[in-house]
Structure 1
Amino acid sequence: MDIYSKRLPTVKQLQYFIAVCEARSFRGAAEKLNISQPPLSIQIKDLEEKLEVTLFLRNSHNVVLTKEGEELKSRVASLLTDLCSITKAIKSNNVEKAIIGTTKTLSFDFIPYFKLFFSDFSDETEIYKHNYTSKELLTELQKENIDFALVSDYQTRDANENSLLIYQEPMILVLPISHPCSQHERVDLNDVTDLPLFWFKQYMNPAFYDQCERVFKTLNYPIIRRAELADNLSMLLEVALGKGMMLLPQSMAQAKVEGVVYKKLIENQYTNLSVDIYLIWRKNLKMRPINEAIIHYFKNE
């Protein structure tokens, strides 16, 4: 038998076969494939006739692979995996990818909204690997090193031109577990002004700094500031010792450190202390289908 033989199984038949193997039922496989059960049964029967073997032993309740079915399963799974890899590689080689820079302010992998986007566009996009701030990413846009940027500080934004406000990330309060407020479901900043706050310099993110200042000025007592340390882990360890507190974007509040708790703020502070995330694209960006699709995706979310 050669590769042109009409007696060879089709890819569809092999996909249906694997679906039945995984579901261990024809009904489950049909649901997985989003088809009705009769065409699935027809394809499996045709596959068995082409191979001249019985692949499944079945009754009204159970489906069991025969010895021949087990042998076919291991080979077909590998074959289909290779076919997927080949298809993806060829497709990737022929697609001019959109390059996207993401600000280091947030951990986009922990935000379902962005995780879904990057999954949906994985074949058509490339993440700019540099660990840049929003300000640095805007410079990269001007240099045309990237096509899009996801940034958190964009003071010169023109609402009618090459930008969209696409997400607002709330801030989470990080407290030592020894503090009385660590037992509260939500915390009022007025109740934690006895702790110094690790805080960034204004020049690092002027717009967000000013946004936070407006909230801090409404408190009954001023918040004492401590200069940020070199990294979050060092500050978390200081918080665990009761030497301060932190405000972190929700997606960055993932590290599990003994002696530290993460708490939501009371509603008005939770709402007003949020990080605005913008999608920005180059002004001279060529509107290829992939670029239009990315902009359309966020406009319609």
Structure 2
Amino acid sequence: MELRHLKYFVAVVEEQSFTKAAEKLFIAQPPLSRQIQNLENELEIQLFERGSRPLKTTAAGLFFYQHAVKLLSNAEEIKSMTKRMGAVDRVITMGFVGSLLYGLLPRIVYLYRQQHPHLKVKLVEMNTMEQIQALKEGRIDVGFGRLRISDPAVRRVKLRDEPLVVAAHSAHPIVQRKSGVYMADIADQDMFLYPNTPEPNFSTQVKSIFSECGLEPKNVNLVREIQLALGLVAAGEGICVIPRSADTIRFPHLHYIPILDPDAVSPIFLTTRNLDASEEVLALFDSIYQVYGLEGIPFQRQLYDQVRQDDEAES
């Protein structure tokens, strides 16, 4: 059995037709049919229900398809990783969501560069969903994001939970509550959330927190990015919920108030490929936790230690 046989089989399953699969693979249908028949003979099982329209897999065929997809994904991952390992100039490419630039990410990357001068570090802004795909395709090596997205091809480690705050104009009544407000206090306010890109995204996360508190914000406007949202808040158009690290963004008459609900946090995740046990990626954790230690930010070091132990066990 060769990888091409798996590719042929997966194409037939996904297209539900030998004719369409052959067109997708740029081969003639008779050779494709023979390859699938040879595969069935080798496995000594029937992979497709004969005479079904559209074409359907048997129970054994469905099982084989699920594992074939994983094997093909792993093969592509190994190929992309091997190419990167063989590069003369070692490059580590990091995907990140834009809001993290207002927090500790710049310090982490700078420290990492100082401690690993032989590496070229490249930063690429992309949302969390794009990061997952870029990791699997080998276009980035690590991703920094805020969303809990599960995928069997990647490993996700939560670095910390960042508190959320409310941005409001100095004339807004909630500014008087300097000690903080609750989600229930702002649910009925005119509110800007961002981004307005396809969900899930940060706005989805904020709405989920409202939902977990048994609330539903009534007057929500989605805008493109955080700077636009805060500019509108500074103009007195409404309020905005943002991660606390973004309170470094300054506009005249703009104030930030803590949110007191314990669940009003935005997690920060570092995501890598499951098979990536490179020292460069593992060393990035050291730089992260050094910065966290200097800032007095609590973190769960044992998660990183478990990652290293898992990689050592696999090797």
TM class by shorter chain equals 0.5 to 0.7
Superposition map of 1:1-301 within 5 A: 96-107=90-101, 110-111=103-104, 114-122=105-113, 123=117, 125-157=119-151, 162-184=155-177, 185-200=179-194, 204-206=198-200, 211-217=205-211, 222-266=216-260, 269=261, 271-285=262-276, 287-295=277-285, 299=304
Specify the code of the residue in structure 2 equivalent to 1:238.
L
1:99–1:125 CA contact under 8 A, matched in 2: no
Question: 2-side partners of 1:135 and 1:241: how far apart?
Answer: 32
Question: 2-side partners of 1:225 and 1:125: how far apart?
Answer: 48
Which of the two has higher C-alpha Rg?
1
Deviation at 1:127, TM superposition (A): 4.3
- Structure 1: which 5+ runs fail to align? 1-92
Between stretches 232-241 and 271-280, larger displacement belongs to 232-241
Deviation at 1:255, TM superposition (A): 1.9
Match of 1:62 in 2: none
Match of 1:15 in 2: none
Deviation at 1:293, TM superposition (A): 2.4
2:92–2:119 CA contact under 8 A, matched in 1: yes
Match of 1:27 in 2: none
Change (3 A) 1:126 1:204: farther
Deviation at 1:133, TM superposition (A): 0.8
Deviation at 1:222, TM superposition (A): 4.1
Question: 2-side partners of 1:154 and 1:215: how far apart?
Answer: 14
Change (3 A) 1:130 1:215: closer
Deviation at 1:151, TM superposition (A): 1.9
Question: 2-side partners of 1:101 and 1:215: how far apart?
Answer: 25
Deviation at 1:204, TM superposition (A): 3.8
Deviation at 1:147, TM superposition (A): 1.2
- Partner of 2:232: helix, strand, or coil? helix
Specify the code of the residue in structure 2 equivalent to 1:282.
R
2:206–2:241 CA contact under 8 A, matched in 1: no
Deviation at 1:277, TM superposition (A): 1.8
Match of 1:4 in 2: none
Specify the code of the residue in structure 1 equivalent to 2:264.
L
- Partner of 1:186: helix, strand, or coil? coil
Deviations 1:23-78 (A, max 9, x none): xxxxxxxxxxxxxxxxxxxxxxxxxxxxxxxxxxxxxxxxxxxxxxxxxxxxxxxx
- Partner of 1:190: helix, strand, or coil? helix
1:169–1:249 CA contact under 8 A, matched in 2: yes
Question: 2-side partners of 1:255 and 1:105: how far apart?
Answer: 11
Deviation at 1:173, TM superposition (A): 0.5
Change (3 A) 1:146 1:244: same
2:189–2:218 CA contact under 8 A, matched in 1: yes
Specify the code of the residue in structure 2 equivalent to 1:110.
G
Deviation at 1:219, TM superposition (A): 5.8
- Structure 2: which 5+ runs fail to align? 1-86, 290-303, 306-315
Between the aligned residues of both structures, percent identity stands at 16
Change (3 A) 1:201 1:290: closer
Deviation at 1:296, TM superposition (A): 5.9
Deviation at 1:209, TM superposition (A): 5.3
Between stretches 253-262 and 97-106, larger displacement belongs to 97-106
Change (3 A) 1:177 1:125: farther
- Partner of 1:136: helix, strand, or coil? helix
* TM-score where L is the length of structure 2: 0.54
